[in-house]
Chain A
Amino acid sequence: MGAREVVLRLEGITKRFGKLTANDDIGFALHRGEVLALLGENGAGKTTLMNILFGHYTADSGTVEVFGQPLPPGAPGAALAAGVGMVHQHFTLAGNMTVLENILLGTRPLFGMGLGRGAARARVEQLSRDFGLAVHPDAKVKTLSVGERQRVEILKALYRDARILILDEPTAVLTPQESDALFETLKKAVAQGLSIIFISHKLHEVTAVSDRVIVLRHGRVVGEVATDQTDRHRIAEMMVGAEVALPHPPLGRAGTALMELRDVSTPPEGNRTGLRRVTLSLKAGQITGLAGVSGNGQGALADLVSGLIAPDSGELRVAGQTVARWSPRAALAAGVGRIPEDRHATGSIADFTLTENAVLEGYARPPFSRAGWMDWTRARAHAEDIIEKYDVRCPGPEARIRLLSGGNMQKLILGRALEAGPKIILANQPVRGLDIGALTYVQECLIAARDAGAAVLLISEDLDEIRALSDVIHVMSEGRLSPEFPRGSKTPAELGQWMAGQGFADAA
């Protein structure tokens, strides 16, 4: 491998934000025709590094070389011009334009868009054939599936003569089948001499597709191995610095249904999918796992359970009673504990102290307030309890919550929800972006709550997590809910087919 040509070399990249060192002396080389996996937990410095490569940030020190030429720092566009293409996690396509127009956009003068289109089309078709990127050039992007849109993004990069392709978490929005198709494409691309950096934190993908793995942790390169000389466990250890194992809790004992949805529909909001006749029963002592590609109605279901939206049609029953008025406050009063998907935007108020955040859901009732007067002494004591019991690492209850890491913020939110003694727990992506310590802790808390008799709804995009923790599993696709599958009754591939929408008796 050493003899192969180096196409991209990063050396001594260091970037500090105040006290935080996001990138600490990072250096590695990418060779022609290889897939290099860049692995790391959220916050390990992957995004910062890519931003430096693309000139959005200027490194405090270090150099970037593309094809032997140094890249001027802080010049967005220099990397693109040098032949580095990036496919972002969130696509940058114009929905009301065709695939061909999206690919051409920005490559030629606006008013000359019509010129030479025949040649451009021929080239796009050639590229799609060569790389196995099947997509119709005249289809409007808004009619395409997520997997197809990603192919358009890749075509866009290839059309701009990218010789180095960077894919940021490319499978986060794909079904397992779509991911496999993507991996085929990547293999074809490297066979043609392209070089690929594949950013991910999903181990099985990394081992499936990469030639070499570089692991980042706390902004430093902590490991570099050839993929065929290692295994997932070793890589996981490098990522987190400890052996990682998903818990294997014994099955819970299902009790009575604490929350039931019968034929519930909600309207779509903007481009967010609504629910389509969802029937679901959350039982005491059971973890119900909800799998699915993000954006298939999980958001609407989470909002419904949290009280943010009410059923448009159908029936919502809590503890056997039909719910008439449904609101966040009604949900809290009914004993729903909520762990929202976005702990920064929804779960906490950044400039509030830990004390103020700890009573966000309970401030209106005793003991935290009486007749409209806050009892800050009690509130503070409550925050101190949570901090101690849930091991929230923080300067103290009067510190602003924005200073906390994601894991500690999540522990406070978890403690806030669990200390209220919830009967029903909504955990929406509860461990996303957490380091391994916090992740295991949160999962253990959910299992303990289940064993204490709570009905838990666990929403996650991580199929491994869903399969390990859930007693029963549902799959969501385009707002529809699959039947209930007992744990272990479906393989990941079978669940993937449901995620892709197969198997539903389409009644909509």
Chain B
Amino acid sequence: MNADPLEPDLPEVFRRWFETRGWQPRAHQLDLLARARAGRSVLLIAPTGAGKTLAGFLPSLTDLAAAAAMRKKPGAPARGPHTLYISPLKALAVDIARNLEAPVAEMGLPITLETRTGDTPQHKRRRQTLSPPDILLTTPEQVSLLLAYRDARRFFANLSTVIVDELHALTTVKRGDLLSLGIARLRAHSPDLRTIGLSATVAAPDDLRAWLVAQQAGAPPQLADLIEVAGGAKPDIEILKSDERIPWAGHSARYALPDVYRAVKAHGMALIFVNTRSQAEAVFQELWRINEDGLPIALHHGSLDVGRRRKVEEAMTAGALRAVVCTSTLDLGIDWGDVDLVVHVGAPKGASRLAQRIGRANHRLDEPSKALLVPANRFEVLECQAALDANYVGAQDTPAARPGALDVLAQHVLGMAVAAPFSDEALYHEVTSAAPYAGLDRATFSRVVDFVATGGYALGTYERFARIRRTREGLWRVANPKVAQQYRLNVGTIVEAPMLKVRLSSRKRGGTIGRGGRVLGEIEEAFIESLSPGDTFLFAGEVLRFEALREAEALVSRATAETPKIPAYAGGKFPLSTYLADSVRAMLADPDAWERLPEAVRDWLLLQRDTSLLPRRDSLLVETFPRAGRFYMVAYPFEGRLAHQTLGMLLTRRLERIGARPLGFVASDYALSVWALSDLGARFKAGRPSLDELFDEDMLGDDLEAWMAESYLLKRTFRACAVIAGLIERRFPGKEKSGRQVTVSSDLIYDVLRSHEPDHILLQATWADAARGLLDIHRLGELLSRIKGRIMLSDSDRVTPLAMPVMLEIGRESISGAADEALLMEAAASLEREALTRDGTEGEAERDAP
């Protein structure tokens, strides 16, 4: 073994441990150790398999080993933890603890390490606060809870290191905002705190470096040190070449699953990634249908019961599985044993996401990971090819940092009041030391504190009910112990759609349903609402029959040999990343690049070129054509489903106003189709309106305002903000049943607030979220300005080849929120018909109805 100049830094016991395993500490591990010892905070960017986790823990392990020699006098008071390890996933914390126990035991280090997550039993948590381990592995929510304890200062006084794993997955979401505020408070408790961030490759490392350290008002961004480990062997990625015909539209990739199955058979252990939970169910079902060899193939997604997921994870680690069909729940760096193939069904939606998922295969740096991309339709072929090109050139399209959310800040402010009385001045100073909140102005901060105290309404009628109050010394403190309890129940930033437990029951016998089997998982309430008893659907890998709803649980029975309705639940739909969208546009515009595409796709594009126009990279193609008595326009912005949906809403509003009588629209990741009763092609050619007028940027002004007032998307966003900010309480399963008359729906609150206090801080937070998230207004704005004066019109007499995929989406995607009144009319009409066929007086009154 070669002596490294840095190696003497490594204590003897560690060096021997490396030696006995035949390993050698890597340069970045020693580099990180040296910097951490010097008290520096460090961001380590390394590909999977580079020994990132061990690198992160080495400073703490060596510290603790050295300290252990000196302390541990019997009877010494328990000290707080030395190191906090924070991971976005509970499962990851558990997994890391397991992986860390081995070296600690092998080196015989007297170091204690424990996990603390939402699953940790109450008695263990209590014991942990009294007698903390040296290393505590936990999640962002638990950090907030710990910080809100009265003796948090004492508990964290001994804290030396915070390790944040998968930092790239946290910095652009609200959980990361909350954690950044928590770390700011940890720094206040323990001023010499060093932070270590572990991350996959990202587009803007400086955002993460700033996130890790305290910022100062008015000063340029402070940055943690950066250690970057070059990527390992180039991955071996292929796009699946199937002899089957690639469909125009759809997401099931059913055509390719026999090929996928063959690939699974040819490998030891495959991870099959899909984009949504419903896709996971469908792919799993289909694979088992053709699984003639009875290979152990499992299913893993976020709706499944925790116990079932843990079982799958254990089987993976034990090497007992050949394939797992999974969603983003397995995205993050859990080491699940010897995966030698990653299959990606459907387009990956982002180059960075693809790179990370592929990194799951083969955790050894020097061997290439092997991956197979399976496009589900023709546009996805283009997208897969673009992603593949991007992965080879190492392009990164992770989202950029954005200002911290105000609803999260409100939650944190309440938590800080629960912990100990605070002064405005000190807390403002602390909060703005967290990078996401560095730009927060004092006035907005004060509005957030007012919101926490009394709701922050202009009509200051709630003073006497304030949740936090100022003491004579000017410190804010909680008004009563109930407030603290409310805070603890509502901590966290993950607001799921209301979920119902899915419980297996015996089949109906004589009209009754047997009570109690086991819980299979949870499913969105809205989905269950769309079912009638007797409907079948795919869940947890089985075809289930919906029997009844009972006390916030959906009772189901097993149904075999039936064609199920597939769950349409929303889990994990990612929009196409801006970077990939641009690559797809570039590829379409360049026939030379089509060489690499499958023949069917090439022919499709050639046909489009011969019969209509091809979209160009910097302009927008709009096609119009009549079909079945309606007139269609299809636009191809390639900006992702969310931006297209917003665009569709705004365009139809506009067309409505000028009398073009639009009937509806449908949006995909690539295109948008609007249909109307008037000849849109003729109108555009005559300039009534011109396309430039129709797509003018001013639609983001009044039209957007007016639409947003009614948009159900905004109401959904508001609900999430209101829950996070603590305006309304989280819904707990079973509790809401009795509460229909008692609870106040967030939609009603939204309406009232919007009409009476449109500048309220929560509406401000809602708007900021919607603009970035569900409505993707930012991206729509960029599109409109990019295509200004560059819209090409192609008016045809029939559907064009390129329009086929989006035309096939019509009828699959429901157009939400558009036609409530029409639905009511239809329901009422059925009664009117009934009334006319019934005799007697019962229907009499109804006959007069308009």
Q: Do A and B bind each other?
A: no
Chain B positions near chain A (C-beta within 8 angstroms): none
